[in-house]
Structures are given as C-alpha cells and as structure tokens.
Structure 1
C-alpha cells in the first residue's frame, strides 16, 4: 500500500468543492494544509475534473468525509462501495476517512442525515457496522457528531451514546464544534459541558462551520455562512481542553470570494497559535518559507 499522508496537529484545511477548484489550484503555497472531499462525489470521475483532483492530491494531503454510508441504517452496508472507497483512499494516500453518526437510507437514499435513536440496541448495531466498514477500508474510521432537530427515542443522553459507540467500535471521533453549538441551542444543553464529556483521546480531527439563525432558539446547520462568534469561542474551548487537532473550515455553498475563506482559515490558525504557543508559530513560519 502507498504510504499514507498523515497531518500535523496544527494543520488547517478547506473542503474540496467543485466550485472552488480553480482558486484551490492557484492558491499560494501554504494557504491551506489539506483538503477534504466526499469520496462518493469523486470516485470514478475522470476528464477535466478528475485531472484537477489528481493535481490537487499530488500537491496537498487529502482527507475524506463520507456522505452516504448510512452507518445507522438497517440495510446491509454497501460492500462494493466500501471496496471502491478503499481503492480511492489508497490511490490518494488518505489517512483520515470519516463518516456521520447517522443514517441516510431506507430502501434508497433519503438525501439527509438523520439521527439514530440513543439506545443500547442502537449502540451495538452501529458499532458492529463501523467495525465492518473499518475492516473493508483497512483503516479506523472517525465518526462525526451530527446536528439533529428532532430527537428519536432516547434511552441515554447524546454524549453517552457517542462515547458508547466509539468505545464499542474502537473508532475515532471527528468533532464538529458547530454541530455541538447548534444542538446545544436547539435542545437546551450547555455546549461546554457537552465538549467536556467527549473522549479527547479519540479525536482525529475537528470541523468548524457556519449556520443559519432561524430563531433565537433554533439554529440550522447549513455550511453556507461565515463561522459565528459563539462557534469561534467554542473552538477555543475545544483547543484549550483537547489540544490542537487538524481543523477543517466547512463551506458548501454561498461561497464568498476565496480570500474571505482564507481569512477565516487565518482565524483558525490564530486560535491554534493562542493555544499552542511557539509550536504553531514555527509551523506557520515553515509554511511561509515553503
């Protein structure tokens, strides 16, 4: 197998979206440290788009964040898709493959990420599917805490459910701080307390994104707006509690000028510098000399 491209803890990244292909390809060296893509959007893609992906993958580490595995679903996992995903991960030397702790299929794709009931039965069901997926792709998977707007039957709290799944599956956590904030507002819990309940030793990466303020007590996770001040603060809390981890700025639509995305990345770097001192400073100096 080709050697994987692991990420330093102070790496910052952007989503590899087709609308951003040209600015990503022409960006200055050191503008970002890695790119993240959804493998199902790129597997089998050739022509101009495939060439652009290959060019970016040759220059930058790539991570993958899946959309359609449906870890919480009832239908059997798509082993053919997982085998193709493994080939994609190997080809692009992807060290980090993550998915959502949710389900998105029921006799076909539902095109949404739906919450799993927080029950012991669901823990065993999901953990077994994660272990199966890890065996097929040949890597530990990181699962992301998801945003949700209606809670199905809950035999335990969300944090306890996440911890139980991670432990039984022996997988990693992709910590999405925007989802923590959105859920905390929508479901009436303290975001910092939720973070404190997460197993820091299992965090593989962090996501930060913008959301839509539908109402004072209703936030919608959109990835279509700048990161809000309260979410920036929660990222600070996460860095202070767990240390630095590779952090991705998610933006899926309503793209601003590319320079504005890079300015947001600089906010991530500034926070990393604040919590890591000279370590982050030296890494940034190295990027500037590259």
Structure 2
C-alpha cells in the first residue's frame, strides 16, 4: 500500500481571504488539514503570524512551494531554503512539495514554466532535488505541472516525471486536475497515464477547477468549481492508489466557504467509496 504524507482526508489551501470565515464558529468543520505556500507566510509578524499559529496549533499542515526554481539554471537560494526549513519545523509541517518546473532566470519570472523533457534535464533537476532534500533533511514531493508547450522534447511527460522521481529518489505530489488538463491539451489518455505512475511515491494530491478556452484547450486556473470529469479521474486515482490525501485548491473567484465545503464533501465521498471497494 502507498505510504502517503502524514495527513488524511481532504484539505483546503489556506488563503488569507478565507481566514475570517474559517475562524468563525464551525468554519473549519469538515476540513482535515490545510496547505499553504511558505513564501507567502515566512517572516510575517503581527496579526497574520498569530492567525497562522491559530491554524497550525489546531490542524495538520502541508506546504507547497512557489519559488524554489528546481528546474532553473540559477544557483539554489539557500537563504530561502533556510527560511523554509525553519518554517516547516516551527509549524510541524507534515510534507513539503514544490513544482517540477522552473520559475527563474537571473531573477524570478513569476510563472511556472515547463522543464524541457530531456535526459539532460532529468539529471540536472534530480541533482537539485537531492541537494534540497539533503539540506532540509527530509524527502520532498514534486508536482506534475500543467504545461502548454514542450520545448526540446525527447521524453514523454510521463517518462520525464518517472525518471526524475527515480533519479532524485523523491516523492510525487499528484495534481489530478493537471493530469486531466494535460491529457486534453496534449491528446493522451489520463487513465493510461495514471496506470504508469509509481503509486508508492505519491505523498498527497491536488484537485482544482480550470478554464475551458476551447474544446481542446484547458487552462489550469484554480479559479473555478470542480467538474465531473476531474472528480471521476480522482475516483479512479483512489481506486488505483488508495485514498490519497487531497487538497482542494482555490486561488481566486472565491465562492462562500459553504460552497467550497460542498466540493470537499464530494471529494470525501469518493475517497470513502474507494476505501470500501478496496477493503
């Protein structure tokens, strides 16, 4: 059985615009854990530091980084890594993940760009992941990103991801929505893709909504409700790998918290169904 991160059930991305609703009586009911980007909270003092401590004292947390630039050519930012290491320990974070992408070249680009699917890139990014793991003294998970171009492609997306996981001996943060989006945009079968994922390396999962730009073009936005095909794909994931701890991502166009909780409940129902079927 896959050894997941030390969280269970369904979590929610902690966004500052949701804090007031979450801290109201019953606001966190039905949410098992939270995820945040450490870069958005490191070194904050005052009321936001107090609010974060209110949550981390009560709930398990996972962290999902934004700017480590694992696939980039710039030197790794060890000041950022030192801050992340301290943050993970201060808040007893159960798992740290980052994007299998690059986001900087002589400075941050403020976007998550695809790493070329080449063997040279596998060696490069895997070495950087190993350095990060050694520095943090813990394994990290890398996310399969959504992408719209595949420059200098020598390997398939799947072959590239699996090669990095093997070479770096790291974990996978499986983004279910990204599998769906990429399968449409790049014309592959999402079920076949998942069949070849090493389940023993999965730490946890993401699920989110996206934008339909055209019948054959989906854009990963985290700004829309979940759709049935993505929930169906999640159900397949749980049937294949077990009840993966899953974070609902929502970054803008926030509905009332009650609507987000309905989506969390929908994910929980298919997790529970998978557990019954696997037992």
* TM value normalised by structure 1: 0.92
- Residue 279 of structure 1 deviates from its aligned partner by 9.7
Contact 1:273 1:279 in 2 (8 A): no
- Residue 76 of structure 1 deviates from its aligned partner by 0.7
Question: For residues 191-202 of structure 1, what are the structure 2 equivalents within 5 Å?
Answer: 191-202=190-201
Matched residues in 2 for 1:30 and 1:226: separation?
Answer: 20
Distance 1:41 1:20, change over 3 A: same
Distance 1:278 1:24, change over 3 A: farther
Contact 2:71 2:125 in 1 (8 A): yes
Cα deviation, 1:71-96, whole Å, max 9, x if unaligned, reads 00001100111011000000000120
Q: Return structure 1 stretches of 4+ with deviation > 3 angstroms.
A: none
Question: For residues 2-81 of structure 1, what are the structure 2 equivalents within 5 Å?
Answer: 6-8=6-8, 11-26=9-24, 28=26, 30-81=29-80
Across the two proteins, how many residue pairs are aligned to each other?
274
Unaligned ranges ≥5, structure 1 = 281-290
1:207 aligned partner:
206
2:143 aligned partner:
144
- Residue 27 of structure 1 deviates from its aligned partner by 5.4
- Residue 278 of structure 1 deviates from its aligned partner by 9.2
Residue 106 (structure 2) pairs with residue 118 (structure 1): no
2:251 aligned partner:
252
Matched residues in 2 for 1:82 and 1:269: separation?
Answer: 34
Question: For residues 129-278 of structure 1, what are the structure 2 equivalents within 5 Å?
Answer: 129-277=128-276
Secondary structure of 1:59 counterpart: coil
Contact 2:239 2:278 in 1 (8 A): no
Contact 1:174 1:207 in 2 (8 A): yes
Secondary structure of 1:198 counterpart: coil
Unaligned ranges ≥5, structure 2 = none
- Residue 6 of structure 1 deviates from its aligned partner by 2.5
Contact 1:12 1:265 in 2 (8 A): yes
Matched residues in 2 for 1:252 and 1:58: separation?
Answer: 24
Contact 1:186 1:219 in 2 (8 A): yes
Contact 1:211 1:221 in 2 (8 A): yes
Cα deviation, 1:183-204, whole Å, max 9, x if unaligned, reads 0111111111111111101000
- Residue 59 of structure 1 deviates from its aligned partner by 0.6
